[in-house]
Structure 1
Amino acid sequence: MEKKTPNVRALAPILVFLVLYLGSGIYYEYIRPRSGQMGFYVMSVVVAFMVALVVAFLQNPKLSFDEKIHVCARGIGDDNITIMLFIFLMAGAFSGIAQASGGATSTAYMLLNIIPPNFAIPCLFLIACLISMAMGTSVGTITVLVPIVFVVANSADLSLPFCVGTVVGGAMFGDNLSFISDTTIAATKTQGVEMKDKFRVNFHIALPAAIITFVILIVAAMMGGSADLQHYQYNVWQAIPYFVVLLASLCGINVFIVLGCGTILCGVVGLATGSLTIATAFSAMGEGTKNMFETMIVTILVASMGSLMREYGGFEWILQTIRNHSRTRRGGMLGIGLLTALMDIATANNTVAIVMAGPIAKDISAEFGIDPRKTASLIDIFSCICQGIIPYGAQLLIAASIAKITSVSIIPFLFYQFLLLVCVIISIIVDRPVREQKGTKDLENRKIS
């Protein structure tokens, strides 16, 4: 691949987007609130990205308009982007028909009747962790669980952003560790390490963050007092599709098969119990996919903008800056983390961020004597942290879309992501040089070679 000339001006579209979307949201939410309208809904995220994309097109006059279109097409046609778009469609269909058939309500009421009301949210966090590890996708996990959380929050009079943030945190835990996750595959392949080795390093960082999050949720549940919940009526048959989906997820079945079978099963059960007709089933699936259109458009716009910025040398400028400011081994590790974080903020896709950052991270790893297993873990962790926090990322967008809240309102309740950031920084600070670690002779040989 041709090396691009570093160019900080190529990053202008990111600045334009942040000023338009976050700036207008803060302005209309806190400075000049609009009656009856949430501030972050005034400026559409799609419009903000469209303006940013126009700015990207206006840059670099050396490329013709047709050449820029080709650059965008390459970005949109990336395998990971295509897979994500298909997941959005299937997730929308499943979410729509599951809601219409009564499956989400019945499942939530069953959980509320089994789980002590005050501990429903901590338990859902654990469930999200397990499902996302099995499915290998945070988006699929969020799609399955947020409809349940929506009902649980309303039934128990809990904060909806808090409940949704808890599930998003659990989803990012599993996505970061799963053996079948795209991020894990990309991180290990770019660094030339085994998945099990990366898992061990990663697990020692992610587990403490998950445990602390769980404790915080339990304490919050205990301090919240006893929720006044009655014995809710539910239909066991309508809840079965959700449990089948959960079980299939835990068995590690492909997310497309899980969502496809879940959609069909919801339709069959809905028809059998009378909660759906053939017409309403198709209508519900159509409505569900329609709710995902904005998220899909954002994904396409971000892929296009990211490709143009990379073509213009924006990403190369980021890489060069990190190289220039990393002088020690720990500085190199922080540089790798910052590199990956910036890539994810720029692309809003953690897998794409890892693929872009991976080759440079490998060079930094060799230059500063960083364990490749640690490097693979770092790029995976930092990408998942940013992806699980940025308000225009797929995870928060899809969670907000299903829960009908703003993605920004979820951010203060992303305890796991913030704790994971603290844990990974601590792991960098206390990390020992390669020569002090067991069984690192092979790693030193790799470095020399």
Structure 2
Amino acid sequence: MSSTTELRFRIGISGAFIAPLVFLIGATVHFVFLNAFDMNALTMSALVGLMLAALLAKDYGQFWDSVIGGIATPIAITVTLILFIVGPLASLVEATGVSEGFVWMASELGVGGGAFPAIVFVAACAMSMSTGTSLGTMFTAFPIFYPAGAALDAEPALLAGAILSGALFGDNLAPISDTSIVSATTQRFRTRSGVADVGGVVAARAKYALTAAVASLVLYLLIGTVFLSGGSGDAQTAADASPRGLVMLIPIVALFVVAFWKRDLYLAITVGLIGGTVTALLADLLSPGDIMSANDGVAEGFLIAGVADMLPLIGLSLMVFGMLGVLQAAGVLEVIIRKISASKFASTPAGAEVAIGGGQSIVTMLFAGVVGPSIVTFGPVVDRIGSSVGLHPYRRANVMDCFGMGIACVLPALSAFLFISSDLTEGVDGMPGLAPASIFIGCLYPLLLTAIMVFSVATGWGRTFEGPDGAQVKERPTVPVSAEQSL
């Protein structure tokens, strides 16, 4: 941005919310009233909102500098690059019949459509724990499992919600996830030097995340097999399905091994794409023309299709980050942080945790549900609020992270996760394209995680304080620790 002056509007700070409001109205009209699940329509709504808001800015040029600043942030560029590189991989997985292989496997094992969402949830949890990335898991798991749900008669919204829930589980708990790392490193000790270690934070977080995961698994089974009386597939399904596509699990496993070993998503996807292409050619699942070709002057092939499929989502992502740039430049985040920090309610341990959880939820929503950068923004405030009442760095990190990974990251009309999931359900034979609100209903893990954290804050379950030399103690120290000590 060319200026450090706060962005101002003729109608006050409420002008910063014009673009999000127009975007929300556009999303509601298209998804709810017109039944048009089109990312391009959402991009248009955001763009129109920005253009209208710019007219009310006191400095028109500064407004667009704010938009550009939001789009140019490292997280925005990272998301854009990830979408570009995972597009061809998702297209490859879809083109090689991996989902048909899972239909065959499910039929052989007697797994019906009712139980399928529960099994997919476990598989997605394993995938996300291995890689530490929710986006990578979503773009790998949706092309595999969502089409398979058609043949098994699985409930679409429940299945899509199970995939997204499993992806978020690993992002919440994996030691290599960005949210685990950032939530730990933003919380400083006061009775010794250093910041919270990732291993200790994850170990303390496990009771919340695993409780939510187990409860989600039970509910997916109950809802799918009892309440919805999910289908079980039929003999024709078993006869038609082929196990050939399961050979593509080899490069997919290689992708996860590289991601876990090198902790580099770009390298992992490159290995998966190259290995998958070679495997598909050797297994006669693809011909060279299926990779990249042209027909009557039109470029074809899974590489081209993968990039093309991502363009609407990339456009939407850029507009969302542009709106975030306006909110930040207008000082909206600073207002929220200042009010929370100054609240007398935050002077007790329980009150401080409510402020931490509520504040993190609000900031996460403003960041379109993308938790990592929201923690980077709000983490230092959590450090001050929590340490002022003696909360242990592990507890501060976990209240912040789990509320961020809860309902705040999957709120309909605001969540990038739901928009991406909705886009990944489009164009699947035998399965409907789903609106974000439909997927939200089936996304049990973040909903249950929020309920568990509310219970934890209300009852004090898992609450620990910082004792001598950074030890975890159950009782609040009688001598208060300064929030600025050990700077």
Say yes or no: TM over 0.5. Answer: yes
Q: How far is 1:194 from its partner?
A: 0.7
| Match in the other structure for 2:192 | none
Partner of 1:109: 104
Indicate which of 429, 446, 454 corresponds to 1:417: 446
Question: Which residue of 342, 359, 365 corresponds with 2:362?
Answer: 342
Aligned-residue offset at 1:46: 0.9
* 1:331-357 Cα shifts (integer Å, max 9, x gaps): 221111222211121121211111111
The structural deviation recorded for 1:122 is: 1.3
The structure 1 residue matched to 2:21, chosen from 16, 21, 27, is: 16
Stretch of structure 1 that moved more, 257-266 or 356-365 = 257-266
Contact 2:350 / 2:458 at 8 angstroms: preserved in 1?
yes
Matched residue, 2:415 = 393
1:383 aligns with 2:378: no
CA contact (8 A) 1:94 1:263 kept: yes
Separation in 2, partners of 1:266, 1:435: 49
Distance 1:262 1:446, change over 3 A: farther
State which of 206, 231, 252 in structure 2 corresponds to 1:245: 252
2:351 to 311, 331, 334: 331
Q: Tell me which residue corresponds to 1:197.
A: 200
Quote how far apart the aligned CAs of 1:82 are: 1.9
**Which residue is 2:373 aligned to?**
352
Which amino acid in 2 is paired with 1:229? D
Worse-matched range after superposition: 331-340 or 7-16: 7-16
Structure 2: how far apart are the matches of 1:355 and 1:10? 25
CA contact (8 A) 1:92 1:288 kept: yes
Structure 2 unaligned regions, length at least 5: 188-194, 293-300, 427-432
Match of 2:322 in 1: 304
TM-fit CA distance, 1:448: 6.7
1:255 matches 2:252: no
2:425 to 388, 398, 403: 403
One-letter code of the match for 1:401? D
Task: Return the structure number with greater relative CO, CA threshold 8 A, min gap 6.
Answer: 1
- Normalised by the length of structure 2, the TM-score is 0.81
Q: Mark the CA change 1:18 to 1:48 in structure 2 (over 3 Å): closer, same or farther.
A: closer
- CA separation of 1:390/1:352 partners in 2, compared to 1, >3 Å: closer, same or farther? farther
Give aligned-pair identity as a percent: 19
Higher share in helix: 1
Range moving further from structure 2, 43-52 or 11-20 = 11-20
Structure 2: distance between partners of 1:212 and 1:79: 36
SS in 2 for 1:276: coil
Q: Deviations over 1:55-80 (max 9, x none)?
A: 4434542x451x44443333323222
Report how far residue 4 of structure 1 moved: 6.1
Q: Please tell me whether residue 276 in structure 1 is matched to residue 270 in structure 2.
A: no
Conserved? CA contact 1:361–1:375, under 8 Å: yes
2:45 is matched by which residue type in structure 1?
A
Contact 1:161 / 1:410 at 8 angstroms: preserved in 2? yes
RMSD: 3.0
Q: Over residues 163-190 of structure 1, what are the superposed CA-to-partner deviations in whole Å (9 max), with x where a residue is unaligned? A: 0101111110111111221112221121
Identify the residue that residue 31 of structure 1 maps to in structure 2: none
Contact preservation (8 Å) 1:168, 1:388: no
CA distance in 2 between counterparts of 1:262 and 1:246 reads 8
Q: Quote the Cα distance in structure 1 between the aligned partners of 2:414 and 2:20.
A: 14
1:362 and 2:383 correspond:
yes
Counterpart residue number, 1:374:
395
**Matched length:** 439
Q: How does 1:9-88 map to 2 (within 5 A)?
A: 9-13=14-18, 15-17=20-22, 19-25=24-30, 28=33, 38=35, 41=38, 44-61=41-58, 63=59, 65=61, 67-88=62-83
Find the aligned partners of 1:249 and 1:391 in 2 and give their Cα distance.
31
C-alpha separation between the residues in 1 aligned to 2:442 and 2:116? 16
Write the letter of the residue equivalent to 1:260.
Answer: T
Q: How many angstroms apart in 1 are the aligned matches of 2:279 and 2:359?
A: 48
| Structure 1: unaligned runs, 5 residues or longer | 29-33
Query: 8 Å contact 1:245–1:258 — kept in the other structure?
Result: no
Distance in 2 of aligned mates of 1:433 and 1:265: 47
State how far apart, in whole Å, the 2-side matches of 1:402 and 1:170 are: 15
d(CA) in 2 for partners of 1:111, 1:212: 23
Residue 448 of structure 2 corresponds to residue 426 of structure 1: no
Distance in 2 of aligned mates of 1:26 and 1:407: 8
Q: Do the aligned partners of 2:254 and 2:271 also contact (CA within 8 Å) in 1?
A: no
Relative to structure 2, which stretch is displaced further, 157-166 or 376-385?
Answer: 376-385
Report SS of the residue matched to 1:369: coil
The alpha carbon displacement at 1:260 in A equals 2.0
Residue 207 of structure 1: how far off its partner (Å): 1.0
| 2:225 paired with 1:222 | yes
In structure 2, C-alpha distance between the alignment counterparts of 1:50 and 1:106, rounded to whole Å: 41
For residues 15 and 134 of structure 1, the distance between their equivalents in structure 2, rounded to whole angstroms, comes to 35
Amino acid at match of 1:245: I
Q: Distance in 2 between matches of 1:42 and 1:255?
A: 25
